[in-house]
Structure 1
């Protein structure tokens, strides 16, 4: 294998690893896909070192090593991208894709998102359903629907303007809790506490916490602790927003 070919394949493999980490894949999966793709494209071996915000990849062919470093910038969780990268790896292993096909396929990858109005609607319905499961009455479920839908609208609006994610969670939690307090303020429901609890469930960072635990269990302690710390900060930001709203509303659960 020529040096230029090894350089090209190494760049493609590290790009796949970078995208996997940016869109929420666990570290063990990133290592596995990178090694399998590199070997499928002709590399003898691929070694990967992952940290909280960067990765270092080394490829080896006929005793010649190439090492490259990439910075990781999170783009939010998107399993569609992760599945597409796994599909590219499988096609390369079957011999259907070579370096050129992989490069073209990577260039066409773009995150696909649902329309904002649909996200807002489904978040409202899901939180209202949780309120019902918590024992809330019809009025509490309706309040939860509007509170969570409005909160999600605020969250998407702030995200579009690229504010810090911690600020986003705090403001969203504040707005959502203020609306959810209507059941207390105007005695609209017999179970207003259910609305307060269910309306902010959209802010629970479940996926990052699962990834953090998975990384730590599988030996990626640095990345796992980093992800756990990030998820904890998001939770604390939400709690701050909820607490300020409850203080202003004079409600203490």
Structure 2
């Protein structure tokens, strides 16, 4: 091969990669963006089938031929393929809680890339700019209290028991938020919140006696039911993602057990038990 004066030497590997149409650096970036999108969706509570679908669609939309994604309970392994050239990357999963707004935003980026509205750089910028939207903490407390009170009312509790439920649920939610702000372990958070909520309900029932005190205690801790993790676990296992599904089921079971421990400790402390 003849090289002109001043021209940098070119290896046979560079010639081969350049002939493929998609540069290796571009494929590396596509791989990073696809796995980042999948990582964000899993971290914010999306089911595994949806995560796999979005990761594959985003990679193909950005220019690779196919995307293979393997999801486990603690990590992601993603491989992009372009003309017999594979690039593989691994990411560790960190749970951030539940936020369907973040899941929808990642899906929106994927759809825009498929329609050609976003190029490679724009997709990367969009994903980096995503930030979770959170409700005002006192607004959440104001919503949780009446919600648990509504359950008590549906269970047939009288007005006094409903008010006790609202009080206990509001205070319990404040404890839960403070522990989450301090980055305490989720299981400790659940146990402490259940303990405080049940204790407040029982002590309040001693001050304002009501025959439905047991209903108030049961309804006040319904905010700790891990409904979404259980639904995701079932959905994952039904769709063949047994590894992630069983991990989510185990996490939900531990959360339920932690809440039960907190409730039991509060009952033992007050010496009242179930009426």
Smaller-chain TM-score range? over 0.9
* Structure-2 residue corresponding to 1:248: 269
Q: CA deviation at 1:227?
A: 0.4
1:90-239 alignment, distance < 5 Å:
90-182=111-203, 184-186=205-207, 188-239=209-260
Q: Distance in 2 between matches of 1:24 and 1:33?
A: 14
Q: TM-score, normalised by structure 1?
A: 0.98
Q: Is residue 2:59 matched to residue 1:52?
A: no
* Structure-1 residue corresponding to 2:6: none
Q: CA deviation at 1:44?
A: 0.4
Deviations 1:217-249 (A, max 9, x none): 100001000000000000000000000000111
Q: Is residue 2:28 matched to residue 1:23?
A: no
Q: CA deviation at 1:182?
A: 3.1
Q: Distance in 2 between matches of 1:209 and 1:178?
A: 27
Stretch of structure 1 that moved more, 58-67 or 190-199:
190-199
Q: Secondary structure at the match of 2:86?
A: strand
* Structure-2 residue corresponding to 1:35: 56
Q: Distance in 2 between matches of 1:157 and 1:101?
A: 37
Q: Secondary structure at the match of 1:145?
A: helix
Stretch of structure 1 that moved more, 175-184 or 2-11:
175-184
Q: CA deviation at 1:67?
A: 0.5
Q: Is the 8 A contact 2:205 2:213 kept in 1?
A: yes
* Structure-2 residue corresponding to 1:2: 23
* Structure-1 residue corresponding to 2:7: none
Q: Secondary structure at the match of 1:242?
A: helix
Q: Distance in 2 between matches of 1:186 and 1:104?
A: 57
Q: Distance in 2 between matches of 1:231 and 1:19?
A: 20
Q: TM-score, normalised by structure 2?
A: 0.90
In structure 1, the gaps of 5 or more residues are none
Q: Which has the larger radius of gyration?
A: 2
Q: Distance in 2 between matches of 1:185 and 1:243?
A: 18
Q: Is the 8 A contact 1:205 1:235 kept in 2?
A: yes
Deviations 1:169-228 (A, max 9, x none): 000000000011135424522211110110000000000000000000100001000000
Corresponding pairs, count = 253
Which runs of structure 1 show a deviation greater than 2 angstroms over 4 or more consecutive aligned residues? 182-188
Q: Distance in 1 between matches of 2:208 and 2:128?
A: 56
Q: Distance in 1 between matches of 2:222 and 2:92?
A: 32
Q: CA deviation at 1:98?
A: 1.1
In structure 2, the gaps of 5 or more residues are 1-21
Q: Distance in 2 between matches of 1:96 and 1:156?
A: 39
